[in-house]
């Protein structure tokens, strides 16, 4: 058995994979593969409608918001957000809390002035900046809720005088949020929602149409809303698997239930990291992520042999990002707590042999 701690594409529920595999051969008994039916067919329109419905139900999306399934990954949203929200000659505010936040603000600079309200770059992003002022004259305030590379997470969101745009790629559906606090939420599917290939975007309708820009159709949120995520052929398979995963989440009791599991998983793993003399954490305690647990070996020479031990025990995807080193346990929704205990047992065994 493999224990998949990969940062993304991440683990998916086994029952979802079985359903998706069957649909590739024969979708719902119609005699055709999901991959070859028309996206305009009644069968796929039902899938998309159900996916949108589940997003609204699981996150409590209020009236006045649109739900989209787009292509291009969260990285395309780095440009779509300022393209649609930032007027020419205007300013946007960004919180720089990691690599992806940095990439997002770099894209925004093509469209106007960017004010970095705070950054933790000087510490290699080991904490979330907190003492700053959000400029009321900016068009929007962009934040990244969870940082996969560094293992930090926003556990509370900042009150803002301007629309808040949040990249929730790595912790969407992992905990309860108040969608009404945000102007735009976007998230690549490949962590907690489905396979790579589609990106969820939730937009407060009233913030659109104010930039004064001429926007290419594919990059225009309004065009995508009017087309119902089908201005062009959508990523059919990715949306279908996302729908299955959201149904799986609903069957488990929804976001509130999975949040309790996620906290329990991260708690026992952080306790072992703090207790074990051969390992140490890399980020501020108050900002520790419940999705991506990053840690390093006290002795760098222990890194390779520990990775070898993990491999022997079926623990995969545990190697840390090259900019941090060490280890990264991504514990997304579908990872069972039993896999956490397999990792903990490996850490304890390694400590007994090498202390």
- Report phi then psi at 91, rounded to 5: -130, 145
Could you tell me which of 286, 315, 287, 283 has the C-alpha nearest to residue 296?
A: 283
Taking a C-beta distance cutoff of 8 angstroms, is the pair 241, 50 a contact? no
Active site residue 100: yes
Catalytic-residue membership of 167: yes
Out of 103, 106, 191, 304, the active site residue is: 191
Residue 271 to residue 53: CA distance in whole angstroms: 38
Cα angle at 189 between 185 and 192, to 5 degrees?
95
Residue 33 CA to residue 308 CA, distance in Å, equals 40
User: Who's near 46: CB < 8 A, 6+ residues apart?
Assistant: none
User: Exactly one of 49, 53, 100, 313 is catalytic; which is it?
Assistant: 100
Strands 113-119 and 91-96: parallel
311 as an active site residue: the answer is: no
DSSP 46-92: HHHHHHHHHHHHHHTPPTTEEEEEESSHHHHHHHHHHHHH--TT-EE
Q: What contacts 267, CB < 8 A, 6 or more positions away? A: none
Which tokens in the block code for residue 354?
């090498």
C-alpha torsion sign, points 119, 201, 72, 54: positive
Q: What are phi and psi of 243, to 5 degrees?
A: -60, -45
Instruction: State how far the Cα of 170 lies from the Cα of 9, in Å rounded to an integer.
Output: 10
Q: Which of 167, 171, 287, 290 is catalytic?
A: 167
Q: Looking at the annotation, which residues are catalytic?
A: 100, 167, 191
């Amino acid at each position: 058995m493999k224990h998949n701690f990969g940062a993304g594409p991440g683990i998916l529920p086994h029952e979802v994979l079985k359903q998706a595999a069957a649909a590739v051969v024969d979708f719902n008994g119609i005699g055709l593969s999901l991959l070859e039916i028309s996206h305009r067919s009644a069968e796929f329109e039902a899938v998309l409608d159900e996916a949108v419905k589940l997003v609204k139900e699981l996150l409590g999306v209020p009236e006045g918001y649109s739900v989209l399934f787009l292509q291009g990954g969260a990285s395309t949203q780095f440009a779509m957000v300022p393209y649609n929200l930032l007027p020419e000659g205007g300013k946007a505010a960004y919180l720089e809390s990691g690599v992806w936040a940095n990439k997002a603000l770099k894209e925004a600079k093509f469209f106007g002035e960017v004010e970095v309200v705070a950054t933790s770059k000087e510490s290699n992003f080991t904490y979330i900046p907190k003492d700053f002022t959000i400029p009321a004259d900016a068009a929007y305030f962009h934040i990244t809720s969870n940082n996969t590379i560094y293992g930090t997470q926003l556990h509370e969101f900042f009150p803002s005088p301007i629309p808040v745009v949040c990249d929730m790629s790595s912790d969407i559906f992992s905990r309860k949020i108040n969608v009404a606090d945000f102007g735009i939420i976007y998230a690549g599917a490949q962590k907690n929602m489905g396979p790579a290939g589609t990106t969820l975007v939730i937009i407060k309708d009233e913030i659109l149409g104010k930039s004064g820009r001429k926007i290419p159709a594919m990059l225009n949120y309004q065009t995508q809303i009017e087309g119902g995520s089908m201005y062009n052929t959508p990523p059919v398979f990715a949306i279908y698997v996302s729908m299955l995963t959201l149904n799986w989440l609903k069957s488990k009791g929804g976001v509130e239930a999975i949040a309790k599991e996620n906290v329990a998983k991260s708690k026992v793993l952080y306790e072992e990291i703090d207790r074990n003399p051969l390992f140490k954490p890399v980020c501020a305690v108050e900002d520790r992520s419940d999705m991506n647990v990053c840690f390093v070996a006290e002795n760098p020479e222990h890194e390779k042999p520990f990775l070898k031990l993990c491999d022997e025990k079926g623990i995969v995807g545990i190697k840390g990002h090259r900019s941090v080193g060490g280890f990264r346990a991504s514990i997304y929704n579908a990872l069972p707590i039993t896999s956490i205990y397999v990792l903990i047992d490996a850490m304890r065994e390694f400590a007994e042999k090498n202390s």
